[in-house]
Chain A
């Protein structure tokens, strides 16, 4: 079940021509998740600071 599905690392990147589709989806998804987490973390920090100054 845990056997590497490709003969080499290059083949894993290329994926018989499908690598460009698969890896672009991976990059878009990771980018969106990182952006979302960063955005909310920054906003939360800003708000906490604002509340801190108020009290």
Chain B
């Protein structure tokens, strides 16, 4: 029953027609929320008592870090879906997400490094959080180059799915690194279980910037997955109607 449901609603054709309907709304809504939250956070929130104005990088760094890990988790779910139910769309999504995941991880690393200069006095430290995030970035790059090195798409999809699942071990390590090891990086200010340790005047724009950035990255994933569908389904008759 699950297999039937997935194959019916996750066919590249259905996906393409459905995302086309919602893309514009998601894009403009996310852009609006992100712009508003960034302006709010960068110019209208009070200065932090300890870090001064450099804390404002939080509105760019945290959404990028959160997305870098979330995108990998989505890739892992897609990999399991592909390996169990052989859903083609899941395989397309894995390779569509990988470059965007690499970009968000790069943004998380670069924004963290720049933030480190005024707060820690150094732009780089081989501590657990930063090193595990760097490993995530290298993993994304490795997955992209591996996929590009294959001429047989089916073989590449299978291998990539297994590697994504194996590499998923790094995600809880990144998440828990600040608790398991003594690191320069502070522990999480927002968790699902505890009350946030951040003041509401700083928290609300942060939530807004996370929602906005998530929406924009979701739009990038939509375009990237459309490109994959065009590449891989170009011989299908329904593509002709679509184009």
- List chain A positions with a Cβ less than 8 A from chain B: 1-6, 12, 15-19, 21-22, 24-26, 28-29, 32-33, 36-37, 40-41, 43-44, 47-48, 51-52, 54-55
- Other A-B pairs, 19, CB within 8 Å; known A18-B54, A41-B223, A55-B243: A1-B204, A3-B44, A4-B44, A5-B45, A15-B52, A18-B53, A22-B53, A22-B54, A22-B57, A25-B115, A26-B38, A32-B107, A37-B220, A40-B220, A43-B227, A44-B227, A44-B230, A47-B227, A51-B234
Q: Is B40 an interface residue (CB 8 A)?
A: yes
The number of chain B residues with a CB under 8 A from chain A is 41
Which single member of A21, A32, A55 contacts B117 (CB below 8 Å)?
A: A21
In the complex the two chains form, is B64's CB within 8 Å of A29's CB?
yes
How many Å lie between the Cα of A2 and that of B216 in the bound state?
25
Contact residues in B for A15 (Cβ distance below 8 Å):
52-54, 56
How many Å lie between the Cα of A47 and that of B95 in the bound state?
17
Q: Is B128 an interface residue (CB 8 A)?
A: no
In the complex the two chains form, is B226's CB within 8 Å of A5's CB?
no
- List chain B positions with a Cβ less than 8 A from chain A: 38, 40, 42-47, 52-54, 56-57, 60-61, 64, 100, 103, 106-107, 110-111, 114-115, 117-118, 201, 204, 216, 219-220, 223-224, 226-227, 230-231, 234, 239-240, 243
In the complex the two chains form, is B234's CB within 8 Å of A21's CB?
no
Given A32-B103, A37-B220: A26 touches B243 (CB 8 Å cut-off): no
In the complex the two chains form, is A1's CB within 8 Å of B111's CB?
no
In the complex the two chains form, is A5's CB within 8 Å of B44's CB?
yes
Contact residues in A for B46 (Cβ distance below 8 Å):
5
